[in-house]
Amino acid sequence: MLKVFIACPYTQSDKSICHEQFEVATQLASNVIASNAAAFSPVTHGHPIILQHSDSSISWKKLRKQSLSFHNWADALLVVDLPSASECAVIQEDIALFREAEKPVRFIDPSHIQNQLETLLNEFKRSKSSRL
């Protein structure tokens, strides 16, 4: 089964943007899973956990350590192509680590997920097969 790590910007300062980014990442993860691939999205996983711990006992720093462990698990990185993605240090680190591991990195426009996703997943599957 193809395993996809989904990177999406997450702006903590503006709660409405934060929730929109969560919705985009979660919809993409849902679509990946519906396409018979596995997905891990730190934003989808972390957003509700952070909301449950408003006392700051769980931070994004702690969650980042956990999400880094999914880099080895994943076959490919799918980056939600929002303007803030190029400015996000975490996403840039994800991209560098996946490229260093010679795993494919692709960007997806959130307004065209349905049109792009099948093509990207097929490309990831071909890349995975060629590495085996």
* Residue-level pLDDT at 107: 95
CA distance 30 to 39: 8
Q: Hey, what amino acid is at 36?
A: N
Instruction: Name the more confident of 48 and 21.
Output: 21
CA within 13 Å, CB half, 34: 10
pLDDT band at residue 12, thresholds of 50, 70 and 90?
low
CA distance 79 to 106: 6
Structure tokens, 129: 């097969």
CA within 13 Å, CB half, 88: 17
Per-residue pLDDT averaged across 112-124, rounded?
A: 87
The three-class DSSP label of residue 23 is: helix
CA distance 50 to 85: 21
With 70 as the cut, is the pLDDT of residue 73 above it?
yes
Per-residue pLDDT averaged across 71-81, rounded?
A: 95
With 80 as the cut, is the pLDDT of residue 69 above it?
yes
Compute CA distances 75 → 8, 56, 117, whole Å.
17, 32, 15
Per-residue pLDDT averaged across 53-69, rounded?
A: 72
